[in-house]
Amino acid sequence: MKISAYTLLTLFLFSFQATVLSSFNPFGIQPDFCLVIACLIGFRTGPVHGLIVGFGLGFLQDLFSAGPFGLHTLTKAGAGFLAGIFARNLSNREAHTALVPVMACSGLSAMVFLLWSRMGMGLGEMLYGFSYILLPQAVLDGLVAIMANWVFGRWLVEAPSP
């Protein structure tokens, strides 16, 4: 049952982000909804679930990505897993508590992409990527996570007691 639900969720989420949400890019930065959801699944249901959902979402992103294969798969799986580990040290999972772990996971994931895609292009490109892509995206992902976590907590996923 859970596997079917996660499969449907990943398929829907990926298709939705690649098409409908592709024009939603405040300040020229597109929030990574797949990463946010992978983190929140890990955050609310445990690191292994986060890892599995992150792996699935990342793999789908990799199938249609213009970058090298495997980066989305591994970073999303890692992000879901790390968010789950982080949540184990929290006494509650209120909406705002998702901000820091999702920002951190987004930043770490983006750092992998920054090093992979801009390495060897000069310091200017690296700094631009860090300042104008990595940091704004981490903040945006964190804000989206607060809203999504609120929705999750209210209607969708019942968080286990820590």
Partner 1 sequence: MRGRFRPGVFWGSGVMRVSVAVLAIAFVVVALLPRQSQFLFHALGEPLADLVAIPVKGMATLDRTLREWWMQYIALQGLSQQNRQLRETVQQLNGEVNRLREQAYMAERLALLLEFQEDKSVRTVAARVIGRSVSNWYQGVILNKGEDDGIREQMGVITPAGVAGRIVRTSGSTSTALLTTDPNLVIAGIIQRTRDEGMVQGMSQGLVRMKYLPPLSSVKTGDAVVTSGLTGGFPRGVLIGEVDRVEESEDGLFRTAQIVPAVQSRHLDEVLVVVAPRSPETMLSPDHALIAPGPQNPTP
Residues that bind partner 1 (CB under 8 A): 11-12, 14-20, 22, 29-30, 32, 34, 47-48, 51, 59-74, 77-78, 81, 85, 88-91, 110, 113-114, 116-118, 121, 125, 128-129, 132-133, 137
Cα 70 versus chain centre, distance: 15
Shortest spacing between CB 62 and partner 1, in angstroms: 7
Q: Is 161 left (phi over 0), alpha (psi -120 to 50) or beta?
A: beta
Tokens read off for 96:
């705002």
Tokens read off for 21:
């949400």
Cα 33 versus chain centre, distance: 6
Shortest spacing between CB 159 and partner 1, in angstroms: 15
Shortest spacing between CB 95 and partner 1, in angstroms: 15
Tokens read off for 27:
């300040």
CB neighbour list of residue 122: distance below 8 Å, 6 or more residues apart: none
Shortest spacing between CB 33 and partner 1, in angstroms: 8
Tokens read off for 105:
């996971």
